[in-house]
Amino acid sequence: MSNIKDVAKKAGVGIATVSRVLNNSGYVKKETRERIERVIYEIGYVPNEIARSMTKQKTRIIAFIVPHSNHIFFSQLIYFVEKALYEFGHKLMVCNSGSNREKELDLINMLKNNRVDGLILLTSNDIENYIKPHLPIVSFDRRFKGIPFVASDNYEGGRLAAKKLLSYNPKKLLFIGDDAQGELSDIKTEVTKRRLGFVDYLKTQNFSNYSVIEYPLGDLFVPKNFLEMMIREHADVDGIFTISDMVAEVIINELKRLGKRIPEDIKVVGYDGVKGYLNLGLTISSIAQPTEELAKHLVEVLLQKIHGLEAHDIILPVSYVDGDTT
Amino acid sequence: MSNIKDVAKKAGVGIATVSRVLNNSGYVKKETRERIERVIYEIGYVPNEIARSMTKQKTRIIAFIVPHSNHIFFSQLIYFVEKALYEFGHKLMVCNSGSNREKELDLINMLKNNRVDGLILLTSNDIENYIKPHLPIVSFDRRFKGIPFVASDNYEGGRLAAKKLLSYNPKKLLFIGDDAQGELSDIKTEVTKRRLGFVDYLKTQNFSNYSVIEYPLGDLFVPKNFLEMMIREHADVDGIFTISDMVAEVIINELKRLGKRIPEDIKVVGYDGVKGYLNLGLTISSIAQPTEELAKHLVEVLLQKIHGLEAHDIILPVSYVDGDTT
């Protein structure tokens, strides 16, 4: 049986365009629309799933659960997700879960009650039991059984950071993370692979003078006292890889306050690589995630899942971007 | 006839709490709930508007139209709006209009078709004719006839910036704005008052050596060539007030590239006062908007409008916050 991909391929357009024609939403050029309709007729494509889903009351609303929508990386991801959804005639609902598991379950209930059509999920809470494979969900940065997921290559990102810092012949390296659940429970998000990639690469290079520091809070809440103690304890450190650029920012400002020069005394590499705001010309060296591409894939994979099509996991490559902290 | 405010006052709680009890949404302590229910009974309050609105199919979704949700000030405003809405049992839909007027009209149609319950509108497009007083809309930073609006005190913000810059005994001052429509059409948002307050204050102090520069783009798109020309033309400038912190950031980096020292050669004051991300310790001196308060008032005023209550315009005070650029 032919599917929407066959139609798109034969018509020489993207799935998005076919979807727009099928749903009669968004702009499609007259010639393109007619070509797609001809292909649909020729190959006898019956948009079963779509036909079925259109008999149900659809909201055309997708909910996106994030811990904090004002986190710089998430705010960029939300921006691009909204743009991508709009291309498909869908609207975006944004929900800040904070560390509030109940709020996440509330949203999952909205999904079950058909008050939204699908869910983009970014969570590190213990909600495994509520995520059923039949639900139209795509997960970011975390694997749930039967649910497609999208992430950047966190493991390779950790390796790249290690490689970069080793290139300066350091005396001692630190990894600083906010692995809220990683050490304390069974919940492992893909983000923990930043540390694994980092440590594994150091091991392959026989570099053993490193420490791993994890504090049990998200990266918007770096505990300052803890940082100061940590920096004093590891006074010989000359290279640091942090779990995110926002943690890097806090660390760098704390190091400066303690009289360290960046990058002369200590080099710092972050993760995310989103252009900072109001940074007055100084940028953090970072492992950059392809934010807009991640957003597009989150939307595409979710719509595949909603339409009953096969949805594959997506892992996108990252790259090292030079800034002023190395 | 008594209204929800009377109930709140008599029960010694906020309108939000009464609303939660009436709508049976969100958490209210058992004692509080019972007290409110008693007051409702005692004063014979009939939640007419709410009863009426609850017979209609309600979505409990509020849409927020912003030009760019990843703009640092808007992303903070969105974050706090979502939190405030959740307190009232409502969800937030976020829409980036960009400069896309059709997308805004699309959302207004959703509102007219009851696919969302209300709209928070932040726009500088020509959509005056579509905004009817009966619609459940609250406007941010712009006045529409019959629609309540919320803003910070933009005029006073401009005055504060002028006062601060004059305190350095400058030779020449500049205002740099992105007044996209201000000079070219009849559309005036409250944001233009930043310039008016600035210029008026300079006049009252008999300071006449200033120029006003406006470029016809939003503050995410500061044209670099234009900036360089402008800076060369006004080589004697030693103080600048910009329409936003994001414009200030671009100006400062461009000035640095041209060999100027900030603040030694030129002092810069921005507007918004949102904590920058990834700023590596350097912050922009700014007129700070009370972001969380603005968000709370946007939500409160909109819910008043939705419930058929009297909704007043709100203008909140701003303050000067010292940074590293003055």
Does residue B305 surpass a pLDDT of 80?
Answer: yes
Query: Would residue A322 count as lying in a domain?
Result: no
Domain count, chain B: 3
* Closest by Cβ to B78, choosing from A59, A94, A115: A94
Angle at which helix A72-87 crosses helix A245-257, to 10 degrees, equals 160
Q: Are residues A175 and A106 both part of a single domain?
A: no
CATH number where B272 lies: 3.40.50.2300
Q: Output the domain CATH number for residue A16.
A: 1.10.260.40
Same-domain pairing of B134 and B234: no
Q: Smallest CA–CA separation between B1 and chain A, in Å? A: 36
Considering the domain architecture, whether residues B296 and B247 belong to the same structural domain is answered as no
* Mutual angle of helices A30-42 and A15-23, in 10-degree steps: 90
Write the DSSP assignment of B193-261 as a string of letters: HHHHHHHHHHHHTT---EEEEE-SS-TT---HHHHHHHHHHTTT--EEEESSHHHHHHHHHHHHHTT--
Does one domain contain both A147 and A22? no
Do A255 and A281 lie in a common domain?
A: yes
Å between A298 CA and nearest CA of chain B: 17
Q: Are B176 and B139 in contact (CB under 8 A)?
A: no
Query: B282, A280: Cβ pair inside 8 Å?
Result: yes
Tell which residue, A219, A276, A216, A208, has the closest CA to residue A242: A219
Strand locations in A133-237, DSSP E? 137-140, 149-152, 173-177, 210-214
Is B131 found in the same domain as B89? yes
Tell me phi and psi for residue B66, to 5 degrees: -130, 155
The pLDDT of residue A40 is 76
Residue A130 counted as domain residue: yes
Nearest chain A residue to B262 by CA distance is A280
Nearest residue in chain B measured CA to CA from A103? B86
Q: Please check whether residue A102 touches B, CB under 8 A.
A: no
Per-residue pLDDT tens over the stretch B143-185:
999 999 999 999 999 999 999 999 999 999 999 987 654 554 4
Q: Closest residue of B to A73, CA-based? A: B70
Q: Enter the tokens of residue B120.
A: 């928070």
Nearest-angstrom CA–CA distance, A36 and A24: 12
CB contact under 8 A, B279 and A279: yes
- Assigned domain for B323 exists: no
A230 has which bridge partners?
Answer: none
Q: Which of left, alpha, beta for B2 (phi over 0: left; psi -120 to 50: alpha)?
A: beta
Kindly state whether residue A100 falls inside one of the protein's structural domains: yes
β-pairing, B267-272 vs B286-288, is parallel
pLDDT of residue A30: 78
Cβ-contact B263, A280 below 8 angstroms: no
Q: Quickly count: other Cβ atoms within 10 Å of residue B30's Cβ.
A: 7
Instruction: Please give the DSSP secondary-structure letter assigned to residue B69.
Output: T
Does the distance separating the beta carbons of A91 and B93 come in below 8 Å?
yes
pLDDT in tens, chain A (326 residues): 567 888 888 888 988 888 888 776 677 887 888 888 778 767 766 655 444 444 456 888 999 999 889 888 999 999 999 999 998 889 999 999 886 888 889 888 889 888 899 999 998 788 888 998 999 999 999 899 999 999 999 999 999 999 999 999 999 999 998 765 455 445 678 888 999 999 999 999 999 999 998 876 665 666 767 777 887 888 899 999 999 998 898 888 888 888 899 999 999 999 999 876 666 767 899 999 999 999 999 999 999 999 888 888 999 999 999 998 99
d(CA A84, CA A106): 25
User: Given phi > 0 = left and psi -120 to 50 = alpha, else beta, which region is B219?
Assistant: alpha
A282 and A199 in a common domain: yes
pLDDT reported for residue A6: 84
Residue B203 lies in a domain: yes
Domain span at residue B202 reads: 154-289
ipTM of the complex: 0.79
Residue-by-residue DSSP string for A22-81: HHT-S---HHHHHHHHHHHHHTT---HHHHHHHHSPP--EEEEEES-TTSHHHHHHHHHH
Between CA A296 and CA A74 the distance in angstroms is 14
Q: Which of A93, A246, A282 sits opposite B92 (nearest CB)?
A: A93
Phi/psi at B278 (nearest 5 deg)?
55, 40
Stronger pLDDT, B57 or B128, i.e. the higher one? B128
Instruction: Please name which of A75, A122, A115 lies closest in space to residue B220, comparing C-alpha atoms.
Output: A75
The verdict on a CB contact (< 8 Å) between B79 and A95 is no
Residues A137 and A197 in one domain: no
Residue A75 CB: number of other CB atoms within 10 A? 27
Q: Please check whether residue B111 lies inside any domain of the structure.
A: yes
List the single residue in B with minimal CA-CA distance to A268. B280
What is the per-residue burial (b if ≥16 Cβ within 10 Å, else e) of B284-323? bbbbbbbbeebbbbbbbbbbbbbbeeebeebeeebebeeb
B173 with B133, same domain? Answer: no
Residue ranges of the alpha helices (H) in A144-191? Answer: 154-166
Give ∠ CA A146-A151-A157 in degrees, rounded to 5: 140
Asked whether residue B77 falls in the same domain as residue B104, the answer is: yes
Q: Is a pLDDT exceeding 70 seen at residue B54?
A: no
DSSP letter at A3 equals -
Q: Is A280 in contact with B279 (Cβ distance < 8 A)?
A: yes
Q: Do B86 and A103 touch (CB under 8 A)?
A: yes
The answer to whether residue B321 is domain-embedded is no
Contact check, Cβ <8 Å, A276/B279: yes
Nearest CB among A92, A246, A278 relative to B72 is that of: A278
Pairing relationship of beta strands A91-96 and A61-66 according to DSSP bridges: parallel
**Residue B178 covered by a domain:** yes
A43/A62 same-domain check: no
Say whether residue B58 is in contact with chain A using an 8 A CB cutoff.
Answer: no
Examine the domain organization and report whether B63 and B91 are in the same domain.
Answer: yes
